[in-house]
Amino acid sequence: MVASPRVRFSPAPTGYLHVGSARSALFNWLYARHTGGTFIVRVEDTDTARSQPELTEAVLDTLRRLGLDWDETHHQSDRFDLYRVAAERFLDEGLAYRCDCSQDDVKARNEAAGGPPGYDGHCRDRNVQPGDGVVVRFRTPDEGTTGWDDVIRDRVEFENRHLEDFVIVRSNGVPMFLLANAIDDVDMGITHVIRGEDLVNTTPKVLLLRQALGDDEPPVYAHLPLIVNEARKKLSKRRDDVNIGDYLDRGFLPEAMLNYLATLGWGAPDGVELRPMAEIVQLFELTDIGKSPAAFDLKKLSHFNGEYLRALPVDEFVERVEPWIGGPDAPWSPDQFDRDAFGRLAPLVQERTKTLDEVPELVDWLFLADPPEDQASWDKEMGKPHASAVLDSAIAGAEAAGEWTADAVRALVEKAAHDAGLVGAEGNPQLAKAQAPVRVATLGRSKGLPLFESLELLGHDETVRRLRAARSRV
């Protein structure tokens, strides 16, 4: 019988979750959930010089924010003894040897010999004894090939002679990731290794290590196509926005993020891209993953996010925006914020936002005494010949208004259109033109929420005040 799949996501403690890593985590998670298997998070923190608990925690935290829950947690730093024992055994069995060459030595010899970079096997038979600056290297075969049947890439093979004798234990006694990786995959019974294509070339080394460990049943490997930027280069920390946490902070919803990431390299058989995670879990198959690199498209992600945002029940939408409008990061102080007023605008806001961080500027005119004024909007609308006539009429209309409702505002703008001569061929008011100066005067921009409803909420007095103030400057 086939054992239940066990897959692992192996982040290095970098301090943030990378877009590419998140996609790897997602695909592992999808496979585990699809098959009823086990999703393991194994922190590969063998680099003691760089690893810090906070950095690891930041990565795990983002995984949690995304909703990628896991079943087991392991830290390689807890398992060093296991790796050291194995290294000792390799040494005893002649599968590994000590080496005291410095990196400079190796490099110098390669250059002198005009040979390719990489370790040249200098210490293979020198019987180097333990000491300062001494590492342990794994002896790779000189002949033959090492390969595997990749679910995504079919057969991949390397000639052993191209595999250098790589370091498995550093000179400070700390094991290297290849050793830890091989041992853990065997020890933890990992059945499927799903990871980025940038790791293919380490696979033969791990396979060799597994053989040395006595393992005769390697896992199924699935090397995912890379996620690249517009320039078709692997996403990098320097050039690109790769921090998933940043995206979440900008107001991309975790579910939209995951849905989008799922479309990078994978496609549902029916071609439907935008769909609930539950369906993706159900449909996900490793065999449906493509092999060519996929570009990260922010526009498409934004579209997905907008779809998810609009699909939310209004009160949940309000709940989700809370951090952007009701907290310390909002452009206004908490006492300036009126939750009920926002609630009335919410449906209109929801329809117009692609990311949650856009929300404040859609409603700032309501909560700020002097809302930001868009200079370009002002110049354009107030510079038109009819601007002052419209404003004069609007002020008069607002002052004379009875009950202050959206309909009342509409009526006043219609009248302003007539008064300013903004009428169509059939004598109908040109609302689009007439509302523009009023909008800029009161809401600060030529684009935004529907004017009539907005002014109803702004209130009669404040509306008049802003209209007057604007008029005096035209």
Residue numbers annotated as active site: 237
Window 444-473: contact mask with RNA (x via CB under 7 A): --xxxxxxxx--------------------
158 binds RNA per the rule CB under 7 A: yes
Which CB atom, from 267 or from 326, has the smaller least distance to RNA?
A: 267
Of 297-305, 319-327, 337-345, 390-398, which part binds RNA (CB under 7 A)? 297-305
Q: Is 157 in the site for RNA (CB under 7 A)?
A: yes
Among the listed residues 52, 102, 282, 333, the single contact to RNA using CB under 7 A = 102
Residue 395 touches RNA, criterion: CB under 7 A: no
Q: Which CB sits closer to RNA, 73 or 201?
A: 201
Residue 463: alpha-carbon gap to chain centroid: 42
Q: Mark 150-168 as b/e (b = at least 16 C-beta within 10 Å).
A: bbbbeebebeeeebbbbbb
199 near RNA, judged by CB under 7 A: yes
Q: Does 176 bind RNA (CB under 7 A)?
A: yes
- Whether 240 contacts 210, CB under 8 Å: no
By CB under 7 A, name the one of 121, 267, 326, 360 that touches RNA. 267
- 329 or 407: whose CB is closer to RNA? 407
Cβ of 255: how many Cβ atoms within 10 Å?
Answer: 17
CB 102, CB 285: distance < 8 Å: no
Query: Starting at the edge strand that comes first in sequence, how are the strands of the sheet with 135-138 ordered?
Result: 96-99, 135-138, 167-169
Report how far residue 395's alpha carbon sits from residue 389's, in angstroms, rounded to the nearest whole number. 10
Q: Is 135 in the site for RNA (CB under 7 A)?
A: yes
Bridge partners (DSSP) listed for residue 223 = 195
Q: Is residue 44 within 8 Å of residue 180, measured between CB atoms?
A: yes
Applying CB under 7 A, the span of 56-64, 245-253, 268-276, 386-394 interacting with RNA comes to 268-276
- Residue whose C-alpha is closest to residue 331's, from 301, 363, 304: 363
Closest distance of CB 388 from RNA, Å? 19
In the region spanning residues 202 to 261, those forming contacts with RNA, defined by CB under 7 A, are: 202, 225-226, 228, 231-234
Binding mask 407-446 for RNA (x = CB under 7 A): ---x--------------------xx--xx--x------x
Query: Using an 8 Å Cβ cutoff, are 445 and 362 in contact?
Result: no
